[in-house]
Amino acid sequence: MRLLLLLLSFISFNGACNELKFDGFATLSMTLTDSENAGIRQHITQPHATYKDEIGFSTSSLGFQLEWQATPELQFVGQVLLKDHEEQNIDNALQMAFVRYSPSANWQIRLGRTGLDLFMMTEHRDIGYTYTFDHPPTEFYAIVPHQNIDGADIKYTFSQEHGLLSAKFFAGRSTAPIVSDDNFFWDVEIKSLYGVVLQWESLDWTLRVNHTITKAGNENEQQLQLQAALAQVPDEVWPTKASLLDSLHIIGKRFDYTAIGARYDNNQWFFQSEMSYIDSNSQVLNDLTAGYIGVGSYYGDHTIMATFAQAKSNNRTPARPLVSTPQLDLLYNTLIRHTNFYLIDQSTFSLTLRSELSESLAIKVQLDHTNTESLPSAFYLHQGLTGSNLDTDFNTLGISLNWVF
């Protein structure tokens, strides 16, 4: 990766200026909500959130992309994105940095840091101007913290009578942070990551299917502390201790991700939908399904869209110890926060209006109504959870100005 950065930094401009392309993109986003308990954010990597009576700007971002066509077959690509991070450093800001080799019109090989191709909008999810949503549906796009992969992929595309069919295989590893309440931070590593993507594109249709397998590569300090504390509790006091210890041992646990997506667009109206299923042998994230469907129509320079998104897991709250003491109660409540992180059952209905101000500037207004069965939830940060009447139904207004340059 360092070698690739040096190559991008020390490009010789002598005779190569016509092959160098520099682009930028920016989103100025404002968020308002009526939720007092669920702090609104767009991704589980974000360390800041917006509550009732606040105006949030933490979902704003600024990015730059550099492309250098060194030869007809060889291209270098780098992308830097500045957005809300717990740790602001080069590694977090560097979204893409890869070499693309295209020996023919059908074959493409990439090496370096690329987008983790789990979604229809993988390559441009941070470029708000390129899609109608104010932000990608939270229930579908916010679950997986990882956005890129350090590795390689190979893609073959061939034309058919009615469209283009492509097949891609990728492999590598990835790290990304998960941020939660009480300053919880975990830089999650996934290794032995392999995936296959099949996609078919025609004039109006795009259909795709993805299957990805990976293994957890590390644990956080809190997990290690909980393991040590739980190991000291006698089995007769806590009969489910063995399964709880297993849930805390996450290194080497398998995670499978399967998704299908479809989009239809005839320049008058469109719909887009994606559905995913996560299966694992870890109790932390067990059988989670997510999906959304959005339908919209074009009216001159304006686009109106309605979207319904839903996510649900089959996680279960573990049994309490048979004895109650202040120490055991504290240990149990801490364990609950770990094992219930992905205890998710919520849906959101959204209405979006997008207006083109120019060929490179658009404004979006989106109103979300969210119903969640329980709080806390992995999607949000939280405050005031000690009360009995929590905000399980709430509304969020997002307004964003999206620019490409």
Distances (CA, A) of 176 to 4, 79, 88, 183: 20, 17, 13, 16
Answer whether residue 4 shows pLDDT above 50.
Answer: no
Answer whether residue 323 shows pLDDT above 90.
Answer: no
State both tokens at 338. Answer: 């770990």
Q: How far is CA 112 from the centre of its chain?
A: 20
Q: How far is it, in rounded angstroms, from Cα 294 to Cα 309?
A: 8
CA angle (275 as vertex; 132, 335 as ends), nearest 5? 110
Answer whether residue 240 shows pLDDT above 90.
Answer: no
Mean pLDDT, residues 336-345 taken together: 81
Q: Which residues contact 183 (CB under 8 A, 6 or more apart)?
A: none
Q: Please state whether beta strands 302-313 and 288-299 pair in parallel, antiparallel, or not at all (unpaired).
A: antiparallel
pLDDT averaged over the chain? 91
Q: Which residues contact 242 (CB under 8 A, 6 or more apart)?
A: 235
Answer whether residue 222 shows pLDDT above 70.
Answer: yes
Domain 34-57+104-404, CATH number (from 3.40.50, 1.10.3470, 2.40.160, 1.10.287): 2.40.160
Answer whether residue 336 shows pLDDT above 80.
Answer: no
Q: How far apart are the first and last CA of the chain?
A: 27
Q: Which residues contact 149 (CB under 8 A, 6 or more apart)?
A: 113, 114, 115, 116, 170, 172, 173, 174, 193
C-beta of residue 365 within 8 angstroms of C-beta of residue 134? yes
Answer whether residue 3 shows pLDDT above 70.
Answer: no
Q: How far is it, in rounded angstroms, from Cα 215 to Cα 146?
A: 13
What integer pLDDT is reported at residue 257 of this predicted model?
A: 97
State both tokens at 47. Answer: 């360390």
Q: Which residues contact 338 (CB under 8 A, 6 or more apart)?
A: 222, 223, 226, 247, 248, 284
What integer pLDDT is reported at residue 18 of this predicted model?
A: 54
What are the pLDDT digits (tens) for 157-201?
A: 999 888 999 999 999 999 999 999 988 899 999 999 999 999 999
C-beta of residue 348 within 8 angstroms of C-beta of residue 393? no
